[in-house]
Amino acid sequence: MPVFQLIYRSRANRYFTDDDLIELLKQCRSNNAEQNITGLLL
């Protein structure tokens, strides 16, 4: 299996609260599982 590297940079256009980030994480985990996505952007 080939390995790919991707570099991405962006700026937030608003501040996220802890609750916002927790909700985003829940939604991302659900969407990723449905799409068989196992990667991660940091």
- pLDDT value, residue 30: 96
- Alpha-carbon distance 11 to 14, whole Å? 9
| Three-state secondary-structure class, residue 36 | coil
- pLDDT value, residue 35: 94
In the chain, domain spans? 13-37
Higher pLDDT among residues 1 and 20, named by residue: 20
CA atoms within a 13 Å half-sphere pointing along the CA-CB vector of 15: 2
- pLDDT value, residue 42: 63
- pLDDT value, residue 33: 95
- pLDDT value, residue 41: 66
pLDDT digits (tens, 9 = 90+) for 3-41: 888 888 899 898 999 999 999 999 999 999 999 998 776
- Alpha-carbon distance 6 to 41, whole Å? 8
